[in-house]
Amino acid sequence: MSKNKEFVKFEKVDKSYDGKILVVKDLNLDISEGEFITMLGPSGSGKTTCLMMLAGFETPTNGEIYLDKNPISNIPPHKRGIGMVFQNYALFPHMTVYENLAFPLRVRKISKDDADKKIDKALSMVSLSGFENRMPGQLSGGQQQRVAVARALVFDPSVVLMDEPLGALDKKFKRKHAI
Amino acid sequence: MQYEIKHIHESIGVTVVYVTHDQGEALTMSNRIAVFNDGKVQQLSSPDQLYEKPVNSFVAEFIGENNTFAGEVYDISKDMCKVKVNGGEILANPISVKTKGEKTTVSIRPERALINPKSSMDNNHKGKIEEVIYHGDHTRVRLSLLGNSDFILKVPNSSENLDIKLGNTINIGWNSQDARALDPK
Ligand SMILES: Nc1ncnc2c1ncn2[C@@H]1O[C@H](COP(=O)(O)OP(=O)(O)OP(=O)(O)O)[C@@H](O)[C@H]1O
Ligand SMILES: [Mg+2]
């Protein structure tokens, strides 16, 4: 089976928050199934806005976004099969690692047995098996990021959106100014 | 973590839309990169295309390092143009310019300019060494050349001992293909 070349499609998408200034202008972008695509650009260039429209937290001012050929406006957010790691990768601070990962599964009404298997698998993917009972506050910054990645993957989404998942590490700033 | 995310992507085949303003992350992890500026996609390419063939000055500037010359096109054919700059003339690859008289910024990646090139290159200029910084795997050399006192070279430290000393004048060459005449900054 050949992969869908237009698994995600932005078609002539504009976005304005205030009805005056367009912060995203005429975005046309086809993303293939299984592709790793990066939006790169300076602060305020509209990257997060694009992710928010794809995830369904914002709607395009003009144009349409398609997911596997369906206009995204017709699919309720929890049925889009989209996992997200946010810019501040916020975990639920009062929940253990296990509970953080169980949350998106419970929303999707996955049985406890299946949920446990998926949580095991997701934690092992980010090399954090055995950390189930820790609270986020008991993890290093890098470990918290991994939990956020595991939480975004745990329900087997078809698309994962990652907004600066490594952003809180100072490495980035070193690298950016390195010569 | 960068590599872990990349490996996870490879092993489970999920579609990833990743956002960053770190070009290093983008270049190492992505199949394709969309460069945004001011709400518009400037270029959508694979990492190597993006780095080696930037289509405008913003992308050339934003991704990696580049040496630039502001100038004016005074002769142009299909795959070559002559650009008059402060201290002389450059043969360049006409990417965003079409006609004589157009203003342009010529962009050359530091690693595309060579010291004392053995094979003939269609751009040859003298540069004066202004600064030498040792970086372990390479030496970074700042030259003044054609009126640009901020011309950067990266010399791999495996190279034979070249005459890289402060104040020396050396021959620098590059191919017109690698000098991209882009939109003026
Ligand atoms: N909820 C909002 N209401 C009004 N304006 C907004 C809102 N969110 C973002 N903006 C504006 O839209 C523009 C694009 O913002 P966006 O968050 O998409 O940028 P970004 O590329 O993700 O930047 P950064 O790299 O700093 O995260 C900015 O000018 C920002 O101020
Ligand atoms: Mg952002």
Please list every residue in chain B whose beta carbon sits closer than 8 Å to the beta carbon of residue A48.
19
Average pLDDT over residues B64-84: 96
Selected residues 11-40 of chain B with any CB under 8 Å from a CB in chain A? 11-26, 29-40
A144: domain CATH number is: 3.40.50.300
pTM across the whole model: 0.90
The CA distance from B107 to B25, in Å, is 23
Considering the domain architecture, whether residues A141 and A154 belong to the same structural domain is answered as yes
Considering the domain architecture, whether residues A90 and A120 belong to the same structural domain is answered as yes
Q: How confident is the model at residue A170 (pLDDT cuts 50, 70, 90)?
A: very low
What residue's CA is closest to ligand 1, atom 4? A17
Least confident of B45-54, B97-106, B153-162: B153-162
Do the beta carbons of residue B30 and residue A46 sit within 8 Å?
no
Q: Out of B18, B24, B38, name the one closest to residue A45 (CB).
A: B38
Q: Which residue from B minimizes the CA distance to A159? A: B15
Q: How confident is the model at residue A30 (pLDDT cuts 50, 70, 90)?
A: very high
Asked if B41 reaches chain A (Cβ–Cβ under 8 Å), the answer is yes
Q: What is the DSSP letter of A152?
A: H
Secondary structure (3-state) at A172:
helix
Residue B162 in this model has a pLDDT that exceeds 80: no
The CA distance from B104 to A124, in Å, is 53
Residue A100 in this model has a pLDDT that exceeds 90: yes
Bridge partners, residue B138, by sequence: B156
Residues 6+ apart with CB under 8 A from A85: A145, A148, A149, A151, A152, A160, A161, A162, A163, A165
Domain extent at residue A26: 1-80
Q: How confident is the model at residue A173 (pLDDT cuts 50, 70, 90)?
A: very low
Considering the domain architecture, whether residues A101 and A175 belong to the same structural domain is answered as yes
- What's residue B158's pLDDT? 73
ipTM exceeding the 0.85 mark: yes
The CA distance from A32 to A4, in Å, is 6
Range ranked top by mean pLDDT from A74-83, A112-121, B4-13:
A112-121
- Nearest-atom number in ligand 1 for the CA of A15 is 12
Considering the domain architecture, whether residues A103 and A74 belong to the same structural domain is answered as no
Do the beta carbons of residue B162 and residue B115 sit within 8 Å?
yes
Considering the domain architecture, whether residues A75 and A14 belong to the same structural domain is answered as yes
